Structure formats: C-alpha cells, structure tokens
Amino acid sequence: MRKLNEECGVFGIYDSDGGDVASTIYYGLLALQHRGQESCGIAVSETAAPKPRVRTIKGMGLVNETFDAESLSSLNGNIGVGHVRYSTAGASTRENAQPLVLNYIKGTLALAHNGNLVNALELRKDLEKNGSIFQTTIDTEVIAYHIARERVNSRSVEEAVGKAADKLRGSYSLIVMSPRKLVAVRDPFGFKPLCIGKRDSAYIIASESCALDTIGAEFIRDVRPGEIVTVTQAGLTSDCSRCRSEEEQARCVFEYIYFARPDSHIDGISVYASRVMAGRFLAKDSPVDADLIVGVPESGNAAALGYSIESGIPYGTAFVKNSYVGRTFISPKQSARETGVQIKLNVLSDVVRGKRLVLIDDSIVRGTTSDRIVSMLKEKGAREVHMRVSSPPFLWPCYFGTDVPEREELIAYNRSVEEIRQAIGADSLAYLKNERLPQIAGGRSVCTGCFDGRYPMETPSINIHNEIEDDY
C-alpha cells in the first residue's frame, strides 16, 4: 500500500550515431513511473546542428497521458533527458515539471533532478540578492542557475557542474544536457541511485536499472557517489575527485525497502533480494504461530515471501488489488483516504476465513491505512492478524527526498509498539530492527535518519519545504 510519497526518476541518453532518442526516453520513463506520477517531461536536442535547439514537452499526470505518437515524433534529436516527478519540495504545478530548460549566455541547459537540497533556500536567496529571477519553486532551478554562473568562467560544462556541486548540500542524482554533452552527477553520500547503460551507439543514464532492461540496454555500472560522468561523441569519461570512502556514504535505505522497483539493482544489490532478506530477518527476530503469511501489495509481497521461507509457514495471497484507482495518500480528507483503501484492495475471504495471519507491510507512517487493512481482514473472518513491518518505526522527518511527515503526524512519535498495536487493531506487532538495515543493503553504508534521528549531515532547523512554499 502506498503510504509514503515517492521520489523522482531521471533518464538521459546520447546516441553518437545521431538516432532520435525521444521514444527511448518515453519507454525509460514508463519504467520509472513508480518514482513519480504528478508530472513528467522530455527535452531533446541535435548535437550535430550548428545551433542546437532544445525541444521540450512537459505535462501533469502520467507518461502515457502526456505523450502520444504525434508528440514524440515532434521531438527530434539524438541527445535528451526525461523526468517523472513527485514533489517533495515545490508545488505540484506544470511550471515545476521537469526537465528544466535554461537559456543563458553559453547556450542552453536542460536538467532533470532527483533529490532534495537542504540548503536550497539559502542558495536561492543569495541568487535573488544578485538579481536572479525564479520561474519555479523547485530546487532544480537553484542548481541550474549555479551551473550557468559557473559555466561562464569554466573550461567545460562538466567543470561547471562540479563547481556547482561543491555548493550543494543534500541529495541529488542529476542529469544535465548541454548542446553537445550529457553530464550526470550523484551526490557524495549516494542518497539517490543512478546507473549507466549502453545500447548499440547510445549511452544511457537512469535512476534505476529496470529502465535499462525495459529499453534493451546493457547495464554497465552504477554511478559512484560523488562521481561526475560525461558522455560526448567520443564516449564516456569520469571524474571521481569528489568521491568518498564507503564509510562516508549514506544511501537511502528506503530504496531497498520500498521505493525502487523489485527488478532493479542498486549499487550491486538486488532490491528484490533485499526485501526477501528483510522478511527472513523479521521471521528470525519476531516469530509467531500462524497459518498463512500474506503481504500488502505490492511492496510487502517480497518480504512476506521471505518470512514464509524462513518460518516454514505457507505464503498466500489475501488481497486483490485494483491498479486503476488513485493512490490513497492523495485524498485530502481522512475519510476519503480510508475509502480509497477499500476501493484499491479487496480481501479474498475464502483465503483468510478462520486463519491466523501474519501480515507483512513495508512501513507504518500515520497508521491510518494499516488500521483499515487489519479491520478488513478481520471483517472477512481472519481469526488473528499479526503485523510485521519490514522497516523500523518512523520517528523523524526526512530532509533528503522522502516525504516523511512532521514528527507529530507519525504514529510512532511518542507511542510504544504496544500502543501502536492497539491503535491499528493487530494481535501482535513487530518491526525490522535498526541493526538489520545495513544487512539488507548488502553491508553498504545507509542513511537511517528517519528511524533514529542520526543524519549524515547537519539538517535545517525549519521545515524547508513549507518555507519555500510560503516565500514563493
């Protein structure tokens, strides 16, 4: 069940043989649609043109609602970037849709960004004091202005990207299209995923490896945290001067738990295997006598399978999911959100009747959907519902791109596990232990700030998202 808002997805491609790339970007964005459903866009250019012109189409809604065969055919060019967005900072408007296209003295830049800058407000106000006029409320525009300013006195666009990156604090996986280059950079902590692929004469850079699979590209490698990758007619080059040691990195562990598609690999780790492992850990650490293991679709299914494998309790399907309705969290009123759960999920009463169930979900945020799901199972005859959660309790907000609410809105804030159990109506409740988080990420360093309040960098003392909206 979608209870947390997703992030954004980015996709870039450079075909050195001059082939049009718009349709490839389209299919890549379809593969990344799970990362954002509010808006999307594609920008392309022709590297061989004497004066390359950027063609852009952006719109609100899903990729297949924004583009059709006619619109894609108008996007001629062999270099391009695409973006799917969910807003964690900046309003959900067409003006804030990406890629962001910026015309400046050196030409044109098109940017697609996944992440959140914790110093966005500070950087923005400094730019405004020097005469910059902003057209959006997104931190991507702040990044674009800094790249443009640095480019004036830099030998190349990748050098300008590096100088701008030195000023940024927070999370960013960024793809920049200049007239004849594609440049990608990942923040030094590696919060957000980014990978490189190749298909014939084209290099591709994407948020997740599943997008490479979709377009038939070969996975080359992940972009290293802090690395700047440049694609030109001559091929691919890399600058790792800003890379840090593994111990200094801090990947978002929720990519493995929930955000990423299960068929993706992030930094060498299978997302599906991570979720199965989380379920196995839950079975080891929090066993329970039961008749059937079920997952909340879709994100709880792999962990449910892992719990079943480890415990020996059969795995089953308790829900039929209607994929053609909106996400429950976008409903403005709680009553509507709860109704959305019923519309989106229906219980297979023949499966659950008289059974002691272990219910696996990826997280409990506010607790409202969990409450309703437990009630639905018991209304259909489940004798017991024991809930197991494949993440620790959310106790702190996220500043790096996951839309975790303020602490007061979190059900785990000032509540014990037993109090949460009572609130959602489960017969027992247990969470994944914090010490398991690095293990499900293959021993990689991860950010656990939303679970324990220990962030990898200093965080703002104010709600930067609200501040941006209030001021702009």
* Count of structural domains, the chain: 2
Average pLDDT, the chain: 90
- At 132 the pLDDT is 77
CA neighbours closer than 13 Å in the CB half-sphere of residue 192: 28
DSSP state of 119: T
Confidence check: pLDDT of 264 > 70: yes
Residue 87 — very low, low, confident or very high, per pLDDT cuts 50/70/90? low
Q: List pLDDT tens digits, range 2-55.
A: 455 557 999 999 999 999 999 999 999 999 999 999 999 999 999 999 989 999
Least confident of 93-97, 161-165, 394-398, 431-435: 93-97
- Whether 136 maps to a domain, the answer reads yes
344 or 254, which is more confident: 254
- Among residues 210, 226, 250, the one where a domain terminates is 250
The C-alpha atoms of residue 399 and residue 457 are separated, in whole angstroms, by 10
Residues 238 and 327 in one domain: no
| pTM, 2 dp | 0.91
Confidence check: pLDDT of 364 > 60: yes
- At 460 the pLDDT is 81
Residues 281 and 209 in one domain: no
Residue 420's CATH number: 3.40.50.2020
- At 471 the pLDDT is 34
- At 446 the pLDDT is 96
Average pLDDT for 180-197: 97
Least confident of 59-68, 224-233, 324-333: 324-333
- At 468 the pLDDT is 45
SS3 sequence of 321-388: ECCCCCCHHHCCCHHHHHHHHHHHEEECHHHHCCCEEEEEECCCCCCHHHHHHHHHHHHCCCCEEEEE
Is 409:382 a contact under the CB 8 Å cutoff? no
Residue 149's CATH number: 3.60.20.10
- At 345 the pLDDT is 87
Could you tell me the two tokens for 395?
Answer: 């106790």
Is 375:338 a contact under the CB 8 Å cutoff? no
Confidence check: pLDDT of 324 > 50: yes
- At 125 the pLDDT is 87
196 or 94, which is more confident: 196
Residues 240 and 336 in one domain: no
| Catalytic residue status for 8 | yes
Residue 240, C-beta contacts closer than 8 angstroms, at least 6 positions apart: 224, 226, 227
Confidence check: pLDDT of 359 > 70: yes
- Whether 180 maps to a domain, the answer reads yes
Average pLDDT for 332-355: 73
- Whether 202 maps to a domain, the answer reads yes
- Whether 472 maps to a domain, the answer reads no
Q: Which domain holds residue 400?
A: 266-452
Could you tell me the two tokens for 379?
Answer: 């209304």
Residues 246 and 303 in one domain: no
Residues 289 and 392 in one domain: yes
- Whether 410 maps to a domain, the answer reads yes
Catalytic residue among 8, 40, 210, 252: 8
- At 366 the pLDDT is 87
138 or 330, which is more confident: 138
Residues 86 and 232 in one domain: yes
Residues 213 and 352 in one domain: no
Confidence check: pLDDT of 326 > 60: no
- At 321 the pLDDT is 85
- At 334 the pLDDT is 47
Residues 199 and 301 in one domain: no
| Backbone region of residue 126 per phi and psi (left: phi > 0; alpha: psi in -120 to 50; beta: other values) | alpha
The C-alpha atoms of residue 298 and residue 319 are separated, in whole angstroms, by 10
- At 1 the pLDDT is 38
The C-alpha atoms of residue 160 and residue 344 are separated, in whole angstroms, by 47
Residue 336 — very low, low, confident or very high, per pLDDT cuts 50/70/90? very low
Least confident of 71-80, 382-391, 393-402, 446-455: 393-402
Q: What stretches of 190-315 show up as alpha helix (H) in DSSP?
A: 209-214, 254, 271-285, 301-311
Residues 316 and 441 in one domain: yes
Residues 203 and 332 in one domain: no
Residues 283 and 205 in one domain: no
Residues 165 and 26 in one domain: yes
Residue 464 — very low, low, confident or very high, per pLDDT cuts 50/70/90? low
- Whether 258 maps to a domain, the answer reads no
**Percent of the chain having pLDDT more than 70?**
90
